Structure formats: C-alpha cells, structure tokens
Amino acid sequence: MKDVLDDPNVVGYCGILIQKRLLWQGFVIDSRLEGPARHLINQVRTLAATNEAMSKLMTGVSKTKTLWAFPGVSPSDQPVIGGIAATAVHHLLSGNLPILAVYLAALRILLERDYFVLHASEDDGGWHTTLQPLAGTTSREARESLRDHMGVRVIEVMRLLGG
C-alpha cells in the first residue's frame, strides 16, 4: 500500500493537538491547495483590516494588541494567522477535512514553514492556538517527529489512564 507521504504534491505536514479532548492528528499539506490558500489569506486579511478599522472608529483605539504573537509573522498578519489557526481547529472538530486542508496550506504559507504543530485549547467559547515548528526536513521525518512530540505522548498517557 502506497504511503500518502510519497505523493509528489505533498509539501508539508501539520500536527494538531487538543489535549483536553485527548485528540492529536497529523495532516499532509498538498501543493495543489496553494491557490485556494492564498485566496483565503487575502479574504482574512481584508476582514482583519476591516475589523481593525471598525474597532478604531467605534472605540477610538488607535492600536490593537496581540496577546500571543506567532514568531516570524509580521504584526499585520498576527490576527490573520490566529484566525486561520482557530478556524482550522473548528473545521477539524466539525469533520470538514477538505476545508481544513486549505486552512493548513494557508498556515504553511503565512508561517513560511513546511512542518509545524498547532496546539489548541478552548478559551471563552473560542480557541486559543499556538504554533511551533515540527522537526524534520521531509514530511516523513515531520510525521515521526509528531509521533515523538511531548504533547502527543501526554495525550497517549492520558488515554491509557482513562482521560
């Protein structure tokens, strides 16, 4: 049986971990989704700029604050990557995997990183997300790195202990 990682269109790998739900899963990122991912990024950038402008108009606030900055991402793209990451978690939990794939491709573009882990935790009805690099120089190495990731180990131990 052929491994999906052997597909020449695979350009990245992402692990998603949601510890409280005892959930972790790895996903390949397909190069054929770059166009839809760039379109998504542009839409979210427009929405983020509109929201910032409306916030300034309504509150008089001249500058927004990012509580958790994603390293290596420009300040103007911080709310974009945060929104895309949180919505990716929603699509995973909703079982909407084709849309999730586009969101993960968008994260790959914004992070300028092929291999990464998205950690998610529920926060006031939404999702708090953090992103970190995943070790490896190939998708296969990244998958192995995810399997050895401390967050995955914690989830697996919690599953064995009954949650």
- b/e per residue, 53-80, with b = 16+ CB within 10 A? eeeeeeeeeeeeeeeeebeebeeebbbb
Longest dimension (CA), the chain: 60
Q: What tens digit of pLDDT does each residue of 85-95 get?
A: 999 999 999 99
Is the confidence at residue 112, as pLDDT, over 80?
yes
Is the confidence at residue 67, as pLDDT, over 80?
no
Across the range 93-111, mean pLDDT stands at 97
Q: Treating both helix axes as pointing N-terminal to C-terminal, what angle do 78-94 and 97-111 enclose, rounded to 10 degrees?
A: 160
Domain range list for the chain:
21-160
Residue of 62 and 146 predicted with greater confidence: 146
Q: What tens digit of pLDDT does each residue of 23-57 get?
A: 999 999 999 999 999 999 999 999 988 877 666 55
| Cα 144–Cα 80–Cα 136 angle in degrees, nearest 5 | 15
Q: Are 40 and 29 in contact (CB under 8 A)?
A: no
14: β partners:
27, 116
Does pTM top 0.85 for this prediction?
yes
Confidence (pLDDT) at 57: 55
| Cα 64–Cα 72–Cα 97 angle in degrees, nearest 5 | 90
